Amino acid sequence: MSASFKGYSKRELLNIYKVMALSRRTDEKMLMMLRQGKSFFHIGAAGHEGAQLACAMQMNPKLDWSYPYYRDQTMVLGLGMTIEDLFLGFLAKQADPGSGGRQLPQHYGKKELNIVTQSSPTGTQYLQAVGTAMAARSRGDGALVYVSSGEGTTSQGEFHEALNWASRERLPVLFHIEDNGYAISVPKSSQMAEGSVYDMVGGYRHLKRFETDGTDFFEAHETFKEAIASIRSGNGPAIVVSNVVRLFPHSSSDDHRKYRDAEDLSEEQKRDPIEKFRTLCEKEGIISSGEFKNLWDEAAREVDGIADRALSAPYPAKSEATTHVVDDNPKELSAPIPASVGDEIVIVDAINHALHEEMTRNKNMIIYGQDVADGKGGVFTATKGLSTDFGPDRVFNSPLAEASIIGTAVGAAIAGLKPVVEIQFGDYIWTAMMQLRNEVATIRYRSNNSFSCPMVIRTPVGGYIHGGLCHSQSIEGFFMHLPGIHIVYPSNAADAKGLLKYACRINDPVLFLEHKGMYRQGFAKRPEPDENYLLPFGQAAVVRSGTDLTIITYGLMVYKSIEAAKLLEKSHGASIEVIDLRTLSPLDKVSIGRSLLKTSKALVVYEDSLTAGPGAEIAAIIAEDYFDLLDGPVLRVAAKDSPVPFNWDLEDEVLPQTEDIRKAAERLLGY
């Protein structure tokens, strides 16, 4: 009997077997508990254990980061999560380290092990891993970043965007594709041209490619050793395609007999990685079948005991259902009155100066987006001079891919950088919508406050510039519906500076909307506040006071509303108050109420299209909270429910005009 096999001592081999057995026994136990109605979802690792453990054993969770997908149970066990952690998550208990019971089971996360909170969309993890690798490189700490998915997920565009970015910058990312041949019921042949993911990604320069039999622990271990060594020696990213088997249906909601025949299923069983490992060791004579049997049974007993303890752990309190949507305890940051002011500046320069000051102050801040670097300095010159002053490591052009910009910013923010990124036009933010809706907005909530992704997303919006359908959009209505992201929309240079600096300092994501038609307008010029000026969110400004009617508005509509108010003062002697909301989330309801106490009449004016737009929400708030104050209906003036056309006469028809506001206010004054 040999004392070692393939370089592993007997004790090491037994440990490897034990972890794989614990993982499999956990899958089995969870499925049984599911049938007993103790939880509602399970997605198993059975068949993937060998490749996962082979990788995890060679990572350093104190230094390295990982973005494991839902099938990576043996991976996270190998990194140091406990069986108890897994059951607390499965049973949605308060002490679940991933999410405190907020997320579905098998959505891993554990701060102490650098296992980053995972969500459900297939593929969003890839760009985040790239962003974390950017942060690791900027720190120079030698960390590598693991990210994984199944083979089906490699059809997602974000997978390819991540490979493109990582290989272009030679970032230390380990891509692990666990190819089990199916994406739920869809076979690989319906995902890609014949061959393997290995072949498909052959065009990315600087990407080291490996393919391995992931059901053979020993082979996979050798493969990962080579891949990890290559990354650690600074060669850039590597991809390992592990050919594995999916021994259970896709999840507890699936029955694979509907789409896989009996022969296919029994062939898969022959490649069970745990059985393979056992047979190899037994054949070698290093471990006896009795010893394996003992370990297998012991694993079941251990899992049973842990599951029982987890069952009696407390659930989260109902009162906690909506905590941590945003930072519940933000630090006091306020200098709402400028200590001094300088020359008058336009909005785009106020933004540029705010960025400059914050970059000087915060060494972790980085700026990127399309065309942001000098000579161009942004298509509207908002970032002019910044790459020259702060260097290409901190201010740089991104590839032309919005999901890449937001996805990498998530990963960079999670790892401690402060990304302040630009989406060149709000009209093109939609390619990043999955990242925004299911990642940026939910990371704090879903991780039960363990992770957050404080970042600023600046983007020009709005019309009146003959920009046609895709350079005129107002996007705030979509985002006001989204808990977890602050929305800022300044109307003048002083506010723009104070609000942007505040956005750069807080611990939450901020969508910072800049009306491109106002960037250089004289009417939005203001004396420049000093560098300590911070304008906190949720504080509307009364920009014109009055007693007969309140116009609630923001952005460019502030000026059209003031014009309309002046016209009605002249024609009717009306005294109209105009409130500039300045931020749409949070929304300053108190200032609206205070004004209605005087005027009893509310007109909401916004550039976004009418239906289900910001005005719908504001009107509903007024109806709910201030109905008793009202002396007339709440009216709205907004863009028509139409795309914004290029032809300037048509554009004028669609977008709200001073005359529309004047008419609506006149009607309301008649009540």
Q: How far is CA 616 from CA 623, 638, 654, in A?
A: 10, 10, 18
Number of chain residues interacting with ligand TPP (CB under 6 A): 16
- Report, in Å, the least distance between residue 182 CB and Mg ion: 5
- Contacts of ligand TPP in 227-286 (CB under 6 A): 246, 250
Separation CA 137–CA 417 (nearest Å) = 11
Among 539, 457, 468, 467, which residue's Cα sits nearest to residue 498? 539
Region binding ligand TPP by CB under 6 A among candidate stretches 23-31, 151-159, 328-336, 423-431: 151-159
If the CB atoms of residues 43 and 104 are measured against Mg ion, the closer one turns out to be: 43
Closest residue to ligand TPP, judged by C-beta, is 150
- Return the closest-CA partner of residue 461 out of 483, 431, 433, 487: 487
Pick 148 or 492: Cβ nearer Mg ion: 148
Task: Please state the separation of Cα 395 from the chain's center in Å.
Answer: 21
Give yes or no for residue 44 binding Mg ion (CB under 5 A).
Answer: no
Residues 6+ apart with CB under 8 A from 112: none
Stretch that binds ligand TPP, among 6-14, 175-183, 292-300, 324-332 (CB under 6 A): 175-183
Give me the least distance between CB of 625 and ligand TPP, in Å please.
38
Q: Which of 183, 326, 410, 496 binds ligand TPP (CB under 6 A)?
A: 183
**9 contacts which partner out of ligand TPP, Mg ion, none, CB within 5 to 8 A by kind?**
none
Which residues have CB under 8 Å from 98's CB, separation 6+? 85, 89, 107, 108, 109, 110, 117, 118, 447, 448
| Nearer residue to ligand TPP within complex by CB, 183 or 410 | 183
> Which one of ligand TPP, Mg ion, none is in contact with 473 (Cβ closer than 5 to 8 A by kind)?
none
The CA distance from 588 to 538, in Å, is 5
Indicate whether 182 belongs to the interface with ligand TPP (CB under 6 A). Answer: yes
CA distance linking residue 59 with residue 225, whole number of Å: 10
Stretch that binds Mg ion, among 150-158, 160-168, 316-324, 336-344 (CB under 5 A): 150-158
**46 forms part of the interface with ligand TPP (CB under 6 A):** no
180 or 609: CB nearest ligand TPP: 180
Q: Which is nearer to ligand TPP, 41 or 315 (CB)?
A: 41
Q: Give the separation between CA 197 and CA 183, rounded to whole angstroms.
A: 14
Assign 268 to helix, strand or coil: helix
Active site residue 324: no
Of 308, 152, 173, residue with least CA distance to 237: 173
Contact between 61 and ligand TPP (CB under 6 A)?
Answer: no
Of the residues 47, 50, 150, 407, which one makes contact with Mg ion according to CB under 5 A: 150
Axis-axis angle for helices 157-169, 125-139 (nearest 10): 20
Compute the distance between CA of residue 328 and CA of residue 274 in angstroms, rounded to an integer.
46
Min dist. Cβ of residue 597 to ligand TPP (A): 48
Phi-psi region of 325 (alpha: psi -120 to 50; beta: other; left: phi over 0): alpha
Please give the residues from 52 up to 111 whose contact with Mg ion meets the rule CB under 5 A: none
| Shortest distance (Å) from residue 110 CB to ligand TPP | 21
Of 48, 107, 221, 471, the catalytic one is: 471
Range in contact with ligand TPP (rule: CB under 6 A) among 3-11, 116-124, 164-172, 596-604:
116-124
Which position among 128, 149, 212, 595 is part of the footprint of ligand TPP (CB under 6 A)?
A: 149
Q: How many CB atoms lie within 10 A of CB 35?
A: 9
Q: How far apart are CA 573 and CA 223, in angstroms?
A: 82
Q: Where are the alpha helices (DSSP H) in 190-255?
A: 197-200, 217-232
**Residue 508 touching ligand TPP (CB under 6 A):** no
The nearer residue to ligand TPP, 178 or 508, going by C-beta atoms, is 178
122 is an interface residue for ligand TPP by CB under 6 A? yes
DSSP designation for 110:
B
Instruction: Choose the one of ligand TPP, Mg ion, none that binds residue 120, judging by a C-beta under 5 to 8 angstroms depending on kind.
Output: ligand TPP
Smallest distance, Å, CB 200 to ligand TPP? 14
Give the residue, chosen from 180, 243, 252, 583, that forms a contact with Mg ion under the rule CB under 5 A: 180
User: What is the torsional sign of CA 93, 97, 99, 105?
Assistant: negative
Of the candidates 630, 551, 556, 623, the one whose C-alpha atom is nearest the C-alpha of residue 591 is: 551
The phi, psi pair for 120, rounded to 5°, reads -95, -25
Count, residues near Mg ion per rule CB under 5 A? 6
- The entry of Mg ion, ligand TPP, none that residue 614 binds, CB within 5 to 8 Å by partner kind: none
The residues binding ligand TPP (CB under 6 A) are 71, 120-122, 149-153, 178, 180, 182-184, 246, 250
The residues binding Mg ion (CB under 5 A) are 150-152, 180, 182-183
The residues that are catalytic are 471
